Amino acid sequence: MNPDSPIIEIQNLSRRYGKLDAVNGLSLTVRAGKCYGFFGRNGAGKTTTIKCLLNLLRPDAGGVRLFGLDPRRDEVAVKARLAYVPDMVAFYPWMTVRDTLEYVASFRRHWNADIEADLLTRFHLDPQQKSSHLSKGQRTQLALIGAICPEPELLVLDEPTSGLDPIVRREFIETVIGAYQSGDPGRRTVFVSTHLISEFEGLIDEFTIIDKGRNLLTMEADAARDQFRKIRVRFAELPAGLDLSGTLKVKQNGREMEILTNGNSAPLLAQLKSYAPEELRCEALSLEEIFVASDLLPKAAA
C-alpha cells in the first residue's frame, strides 16, 4: 500500500433501502493519525455508511476504500487492521470476560496483553464474570478492550457512549486517548460517529456532518470554531438599516441581538461597532453548536 493513501476514502457512496436513499453520494477522506468525527441526526445515514466501510452492507453506487484496499475484495486484510465498537455490543452469554477476550484474541494476529491487564484493572472488570451478567457500561468497556488490544490502525466507533453513565463515558474517551492513541500516534486513526459531540470535542481533528445521506459540511475542528461565531450585541437604541445579510441566524429581543455567522464576522463586527453598541461580544461556537447550526446551512438540492 502507498503509505500516503488515506485510511478511509469514501467516494460518491450511495446505498438505498427500498425507495429510501439512506446514503446518497457521500464522499469523505480520513488521513492517518487523525481523529475524525462523523456527525448527523438520527437516520442521516451514519450507521449505513459505517456498515459499508465494514463490508456488512454493499454500496449501490460509489465505493469505499480502507488503507487503499477494497473491503469487498480484501475483506480479511482490511478487517485485520481495524476494530469496531458498535453502540449495542453482544457477546456469547455463556462466556466469561476472560473467555470472551480469549475468543476475540483468537481472531487477531497481535494482542497486547499488558493493555488488556491494565484496562481490566482500570474498569474493575472481573475476568470470571459471565458476560451475560455485565451492565451495558461494562459490556461497552469489554468491547473497547477487545478493540484496543489488537492495536489496530483504525478504530471505528459507532455511537460508542450512548446510554452510558457520565463516568463510564469519560473513562471511555480517556481510554481512547491514552491506551489507544498513545501507542504509535502516526498509525492510530479514529473514526467516531456520535451525538455526544461535546464530550468528544477535544479529540476531534476534523469532522463531517451528514444530512439525508449527503455531506453537509466537512471541516477541521479548529478552523470550524474560528469560522462559526456567535455575536451578542446590545444597543442603547436599535439602529435602523443594519445589514445582516449573509448571517446564519438572527435572534432579537428588544435592543439586544444574537447573531450566528459562518465566516466573515470581521466586517459585521465593524458594522455593529459603527453604531456604538453598549455591549459587543463575539465567541466561537462549539462543535455541538456548529452541528445544531448546520441545520441552517443551505442544502444541496435533492
Partner 1 sequence: MLLQIDFKSGKPVYLQLVDQIRYAAASGGLRTGEPLPSIRPLAEELRVNRNTVAKAYAELESQGVIETIPGKGCFLKESQSPFTKSARQKILVKEIDEAVVAAHHLQVDREAFLALVKERLDSFERKVKDKADND
Cβ neighbors of 56 (< 8 A, separation 6 or more) are none
Find the Cα–Cα–Cα–Cα dihedral 45, 51, 57, 60, rounded to 10°: 40
Give Cβ neighbours of residue 159 (< 8 Å, ≥ 6 apart): 47, 86, 87, 193, 194, 195
Minimum distance from CB of 270 to partner 1 (Å)?
9
Among 43, 93, 202, 267, binds partner 1 (CB under 8 A): 202
Q: Which of 77, 80, 95, 203 binds partner 1 (CB under 8 A)?
A: 203
Query: Residue 262 Cβ, how far from partner 1 at the closest point, in Å?
Result: 13
In order of 87, 173, 177, 286, 288, the CA distances from 202 in angstroms are 21, 10, 10, 10, 12
Q: Which of residues 143-162 bind partner 1 (CB under 8 A)?
A: none
* 41 three-state secondary structure: coil
- Element (DSSP H or E) covering residue 120: helix 113-122
177 interacts with partner 1 by CB under 8 A: yes
Task: Take residue 66 and report the three cell numbers written for it.
Answer: 480502507
Among residues 269, 291, 293, 294, which is the contact residue for partner 1, using CB under 8 A? 269
Q: Quick one: which segment of 71-79, 108-116, 219-227, 241-249 binds partner 1 (CB under 8 A)?
A: 219-227
Q: How far apart are CA 123 and CA 162, in angstroms?
A: 18
Site pattern 27..66 for partner 1 (x: CB under 8 A): ------x-x-------------------------------
The nearer residue to partner 1, 37 or 45, going by C-beta atoms, is 37
Nearer to partner 1 among residue 12 and residue 271 (C-beta): 271
x/- track of binding to partner 1 for residues 96-125 (CB under 8 A): ------------------------------
Identified binder of partner 1 from the candidate list 161, 181, 194, 294, rule CB under 8 A: 181
Question: Which residue from 101, 125, 130 is spatially nearest to 113, judged by alpha carbons?
Answer: 101
Using the contact rule CB under 8 A, the part of the chain among 38-46, 70-78, 122-130, 176-184 near partner 1 is 176-184
Q: Does 276 bind partner 1 (CB under 8 A)?
A: yes
- In the complex, minimum distance from the CB of residue 173 to partner 1, in angstroms, rounded to a whole number: 6
In the complex with partner 1, the residue whose CB is nearer, 26 or 204, is: 204
Residue list 221-240, contact with partner 1 (CB under 8 A):
221-222, 225-226, 229
Q: Which grid coordinates belong to 93?
A: 452469554
In angstroms, the CA 217 to CA 290 distance is: 10
55: left (phi over 0), alpha (psi -120 to 50) or beta: left
CA-angle at 107, arms to 92 and 142, nearest 5° = 45
Residue 212: C-alpha distances to residues 21, 81, 158 (Å): 8, 30, 18
Residues in touch with partner 1 (CB under 8 A): 33, 35, 170, 173-174, 177-178, 181-182, 185, 199, 201-205, 221-222, 225-226, 229, 269, 273, 276-277, 280, 282-284, 286-287
